[in-house]
Amino acid sequence: MSDSKPIEALNALEAEALAAAESAPDAEALEAVRVTYLGRSEGRISVILRGLGQLPAEDRPAVGQRANQVKAALAAVLEARAGALSGPAVESGLDLTMPGRPRWQGGLHPITQAIDEIWHIFRDLGFARARGPEADTEWYNFEALNTPLDHPAADEQDTLYLVDSVLLRSHTSPVQMRTMEANEPPIRIIAPGWVYRRDTYDATHTPAFMQIEGLVIDEDITFIDFKATLAEFARRYWGPDTQIRFRPSFFPFTEPSAEVDVKRVIRRPDGTQYETDWLEIMGSGMVDPNVIANAGYDPERYTGWAFGMGPGRIAMLKHGVDDLRTFFENDVRFLGQFAQ
Ligand code: PHE
């Protein structure tokens, strides 16, 4: 007498397998169904077919036949379902004409962009990039730069002291001395970085801001080198019609010292143009011989010039921004307008 149990088991297996294949939500799930039932070694139908030898001889043909039917039925459903899944997605409720969702894209901060552009111009003129620590000593921040500690800039009113004679640098000029100590002339460097002052937080001041230091030291460097280099920089950064002017000033570490202003020509879309006011962009001067001597160089042999400019201010001018704080409050709706 033949046993009908294996046949019943195959009937149940078929119903289960076909239902799974028909409802597979995607190609990956469909493949999992195929492996579960038809997989060569562990697939449930394959296992039954391999086990035929253990059945009573009279049951083998019927069970074998039924197993092969289930296998063929499942293969057909798998194929049909695969076709449906790769067909037009509209059928599964997706609208293929729906526009893509724009991807959120980051961008460089406008002050970072200004620093990069300025640095690249000087790099093309033969300058290297340098850096120094943000926490530095009174010696590097003041004394080495010919600034006595009783100078108002060294006062606790203006400078953020950490411990004893260690402070947060109030300008990038300490990088001048650190670079000269670590190298031999000639020196041509650009050193961007954060500086800190005990300033109020308002439209034109922040207690932490960026500066870019420039320093050139070599034999036979004169004020003419400085003027020519600066004029070339201004033309490359603001356009060929840009003018620069030097106003006498004072810094303890430069002699003579000058403040540099630029006047730009702005072209309107209708072709007319106008000149801006003179805008101050930096403090500068010929490096004081005392500073050159403090670096261990011979001040009779070497001369040079230096400047410190504010890329935050330059970015404000460039983009017509009138409140410096907007650059630091990190509202992406504001900053995103400048992303490149
Ligand atoms: N360190 C000066 C400042 O912070 C700027 C400066 C740099 C002036 C180099 C002359 C030479 O105001």
The predicted-structure confidence for 248-281, as pLDDT tens digits, reads as follows 999 999 999 999 999 998 888 999 999 989 989 9
- CB count, 10 Å around CB of 244? 18
Using the atom order of ligand 1, give the atom closest to the CA of residue 211: 4
pLDDT at 91 over 70: no
Identify the pLDDT of residue 257.
Answer: 97
What is the Å distance from ligand 1's center to 139 Cα?
16
CA dist list (Å): 254 to 152, 174, 223, 257, 287: 17, 13, 12, 5, 4
The angle formed by the CA atoms of residues 291, 115 and 329, to the nearest 5 degrees, is: 115
Q: Is the CB of 254 under 6 A from ligand 1?
A: yes
* Beta carbon of 308 within 6 Å of any ligand 1 atom: yes
Q: How far apart are CA 10 and CA 135, in angstroms?
A: 79
Q: Are 217 and 299 in contact (CB under 8 A)?
A: no
Query: Is the distance from the beta carbon of residue 142 to the nearest atom of ligand 1 less than 6 Å?
Result: no
CB-based contacts of 112, cutoff 8 Å, min separation 6: none
Please state, rounded to an integer, the average pLDDT across all residues of the chain. 91
306 in ligand 1 pocket by Cβ < 6 Å? Answer: yes
Q: How confident is the model at residue 105 (pLDDT cuts 50, 70, 90)?
A: confident
Q: pLDDT value at position 88?
A: 59
300 CA distance to ligand 1 middle (Å): 23
Query: If you measure from the C-alpha of residue 284 to the centroid of ligand 1, how many angstroms do you get, rounded to a whole number?
Result: 6
Q: pLDDT value at position 1?
A: 47
| Ligand 1 binding pocket includes 310 (Cβ within 6 Å) | no
Residue 3, pLDDT score: 59
**Residue to mutate, 171, 230, 254, 291, ligand 1, most ligand atoms under 8 Å from C-beta:** 171
Cβ of 176 closer than 6 Å to ligand 1, yes or no, is no
Sequence-ordered list of residues with C-beta below 8 angstroms from that of 183, at least 6 positions apart, any chain: none
Q: How high is the pLDDT of residue 100?
A: 86
Confidence of residue 306 (pLDDT cuts 50, 70, 90): very high
Q: Is 159 in the pocket of ligand 1 (CB under 6 A)?
A: no
pLDDT band at 154 (very low <50, low <70, confident <90, very high): confident
Ligand 1 center to residue 310 CA distance, Å?
10
pLDDT of res. 83: 83
Reported confidence tier of residue 85, pLDDT bands at 50, 70, 90: confident
